[in-house]
């Protein structure tokens, strides 16, 4: 066989999917060891273009691009902590996991963390991730003071939100899903903390109205707040966990962590990974019901100021490596929308529609968002955000999600691009009204359309 058949495999071939493991595509995957690698890759890119990929935690097709050159950014992972200024300057491939191991012992926490710490700084900006503190402290990019981005000509740009000549490009890159350029470095503010522990109030709520009423009434008193909802129970009962970083004086007397020397010790539990192959039918209504029941019961009815570790509070799922495999070979998707407060009824409607088609969500999370930032494609806006994980193999799911999309759009809401793997281009255009404004800036940064992704193609971004 000759080596140059147009059908021959290439040593750089990689089949990529998002965290949901749906709709794979092949790309030419190359490790970016230096910024020069990225510039050179952009300047020599083929007709299918280039894309940066971090740790692949987007659920859908954001970090894959069929036929393109995809930069594995995780080799670019050094960072500098400026203790005086309380900021960190990190390469784009640095993970939040790496950062936490360094900054917590120094008395700092990242300004925003998603439900997993296995995301890169570049990905956090490109998706403009949010955490349990969005209602008070905004999304990740709200804490970024500068970043360096390689544009579609292969040139480096220093972008700052406070610099009128680059602010537009800064905000187009925030939430821009990697389509304005390759983020290579960013500086952002950290949060000073006294201990590596959390002080948490937990409330078991009898139904969804109870959960939502308590959140409206009390979230402002907490830095962090999130509700887990039992998607199987028609009551929509849930567990509300809210808290803040524990101060030294909140640790119980005699607790070794109360010592100045050990208060900031940070360890992450390492638990086994999910098995490499799981049959598709394992997650069914019965197992989801059992899990939800257990989860609800495991929480105390009402407990105040419980001391909890950072991983237990922020990243419980990171304890099981590759937990996305439990959905079987056809994968899963996460449906996450935000709607204004006036459309809070959509939370209940969504859960009941999913139950009706036998696709109860395994893990369902409800949160309140605060104000939006200036980025045209940033997801958060004031109101409710619901995230529901559902297996993709369900044949009745597609029309139900399309119906829900229409309701979300009609109420002025939208879907999170970092989670999306199935919305229509029309839905996207209707719910991100500043799309054309973003496209104009993107076209200036990438005049020949070098940056491509399956998400971008699917949604005509």
Partner 1 sequence: MNDALGEVQSVLVLGGSSEIARATIVELPGNRLRRVVLAGRASSALDDAAAFLGNRGIPTVEVAEFDATATDSHGAFIDEVFDNSDIDLVIMAFGVLGDQMEVEADPSKAVQIATVNYTGAVSVGLHVARRLRQQGHGNLVVLSSVAGDRARRSNYVYGSTKAGLDAFAQGLGDALAGSGASVLVVRPGMVRTRMSAGLPEAPMTTDPEVVGKAIVQALRKGKHTIYAPGPLRFLMGAVKAVPRPVFRKLPQ
Angle between helices 208-218 and 345-356 (to 10 degrees): 150
For position 328 contacting partner 1 by CB under 8 A, the verdict is no
Q: Work out the number of other CB atoms within 10 angstroms of the CB of residue 6.
A: 4
Residues 200, 446: Cα–Cα separation, whole Å: 46
Q: Which range touches partner 1 (CB under 8 A), out of 16-24, 132-140, 296-304, 318-326?
A: 16-24
Touching partner 1, residues 36-55 (CB under 8 A): 48
Residues 300, 306: Cα–Cα separation, whole Å: 10
Report the nearest approach of partner 1 to the CB of residue 16 (Å): 9
DSSP annotation of 233: S
Q: Which two tokens stand for residue 406?
A: 């229409």
Q: Which range touches partner 1 (CB under 8 A), out of 13-21, 133-141, 263-271, 437-445?
A: 13-21
| Separation of CA 415 from chain center | 13
For position 3 contacting partner 1 by CB under 8 A, the verdict is no
Which residue has 């969504």 as its token pair?
A: 350
Cα distances from 72 to residues 44, 107, 122, 183, 261, in angstroms, run: 17, 31, 11, 12, 38
**Beta strands 50-53; 69-72: pairing state:** parallel
Angle between helices 345-356 and 397-410 (to 10 degrees): 170
For position 330 contacting partner 1 by CB under 8 A, the verdict is yes
H runs (alpha helix) in 299-334: 310-314
Report the nearest approach of partner 1 to the CB of residue 400 (Å): 10
For position 358 contacting partner 1 by CB under 8 A, the verdict is no
Contacting partner 1 (CB under 8 A), which of 397, 408, 441, 461?
Answer: 397
Contacting partner 1 (CB under 8 A), which of 9, 253, 260, 286?
Answer: 9
Touching partner 1, residues 53-72 (CB under 8 A): 60-61, 65-68
Contacting partner 1 (CB under 8 A), which of 399, 433, 447, 449?
Answer: 399
Nearer CB in complex with partner 1: 59/108: 59
Q: Which range touches partner 1 (CB under 8 A), out of 35-43, 190-198, 397-405, 406-414?
A: 397-405
Contacting partner 1 (CB under 8 A), which of 19, 22, 126, 185?
Answer: 22
Contacting partner 1 (CB under 8 A), which of 11, 84, 249, 395?
Answer: 395
Contacting partner 1 (CB under 8 A), which of 146, 245, 442, 458?
Answer: 458
Report the nearest approach of partner 1 to the CB of residue 426 (Å): 9
Q: Which range touches partner 1 (CB under 8 A), out of 15-23, 147-155, 191-199, 289-297?
A: 15-23
DSSP annotation of 246: P
Residues 73, 323: Cα–Cα separation, whole Å: 23
Question: Which residues 6+ apart lie within 8 Å of 235 measured at CB?
Answer: 206, 207, 208
For position 448 contacting partner 1 by CB under 8 A, the verdict is no
SS3 state at 355: helix
- Tell me the backbone φ, ψ of residue 405, rounded to 5 degrees: -55, -45
DSSP annotation of 370: -
Nearer CB in complex with partner 1: 49/54: 49
Binding-site size for partner 1 (CB under 8 A) equals 37
Q: What is the contact surface with partner 1 in residues (CB under 8 A)?
A: 6-7, 9, 13, 15, 20, 22-27, 48, 60-61, 65-68, 329-331, 333, 392, 395, 397-399, 401-402, 421-422, 424-425, 454, 457-458
């Amino acid at each position: 066989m000759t080596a140059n058949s147009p059908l021959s495999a290439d040593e750089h071939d990689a089949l990529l999917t998002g965290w949901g493991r749906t709709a794979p595509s092949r790309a030419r995957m190359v490790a970016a060891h230096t910024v020069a690698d990225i510039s050179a890759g952009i300047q020599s890119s083929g007709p299918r273009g280039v894309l940066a990929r971090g740790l692949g935690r987007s659920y859908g097709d954001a970090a894959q691009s069929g036929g393109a050159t995809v930069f594995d950014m995780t080799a670019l992972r050094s960072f500098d902590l400026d203790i005086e200024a309380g900021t960190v300057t990190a390469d784009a491939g640095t993970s939040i996991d790496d950062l936490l191991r360094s900054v917590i012992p120094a008395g700092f926490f990242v300004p925003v963390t998603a439900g997993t710490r296995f995301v890169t700084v570049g990905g956090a900006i490109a998706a403009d991730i949010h955490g349990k503190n969005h209602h008070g402290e905004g999304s990740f990019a709200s804490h970024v003071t500068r970043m360096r981005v390689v544009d579609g000509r292969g040139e480096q740009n220093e972008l700052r939100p406070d610099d009128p000549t680059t602010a537009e490009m800064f905000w187009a890159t925030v939430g821009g899903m990697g389509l304005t350029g390759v983020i290579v470095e960013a500086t952002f503010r950290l949060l000073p903390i006294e201990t590596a522990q959390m002080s948490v109030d937990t409330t078991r709520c009898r139904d969804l109205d109870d959960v939502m009423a308590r959140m409206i009434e009390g979230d402002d008193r907490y830095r962090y707040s999130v509700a887990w909802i039992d998607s199987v129970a028609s009551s929509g009962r849930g567990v509300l966990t809210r808290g803040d970083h524990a101060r030294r004086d909140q640790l119980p007397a005699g607790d070794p962590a109360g010592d100045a020397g050990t208060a900031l010790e940070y360890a992450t539990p390492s638990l086994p990974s999910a098995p490499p192959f799981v049959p598709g039918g394992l997650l069914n209504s019965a197992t989801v019901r059992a899990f939800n029941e257990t989860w609800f019961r495991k929480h105390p009815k009402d407990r105040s100021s419980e001391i909890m570790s950072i991983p237990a509070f922020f990243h419980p799922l990171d304890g099981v490596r590759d937990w996305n495999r439990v959905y079987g070979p056809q994968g899963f998707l996460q449906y996450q929308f935000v709607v204004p407060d006036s459309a809070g009824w959509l939370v209940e409607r969504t859960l009941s529609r999913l139950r009706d088609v036998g696709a109860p969500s395994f893990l369902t999370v409800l949160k309140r968002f605060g104000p939006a930032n200036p980025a045209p494609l940033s997801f958060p806006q004031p109101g409710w955000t619901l995230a529901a994980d559902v297996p993709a193999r369900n044949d009745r799911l597609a029309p139900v999600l399309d119906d829900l999309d229409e309701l979300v759009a009609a109420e002025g809401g939208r879907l999170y691009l970092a989670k999306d793997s199935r919305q229509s281009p029309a839905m996207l255009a209707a719910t991100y009204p500043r799309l054309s404004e973003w496209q104009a800036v993107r076209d200036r940064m990438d005049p020949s359309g070098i940056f491509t992704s399956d998400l971008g193609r699917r949604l005509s971004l």
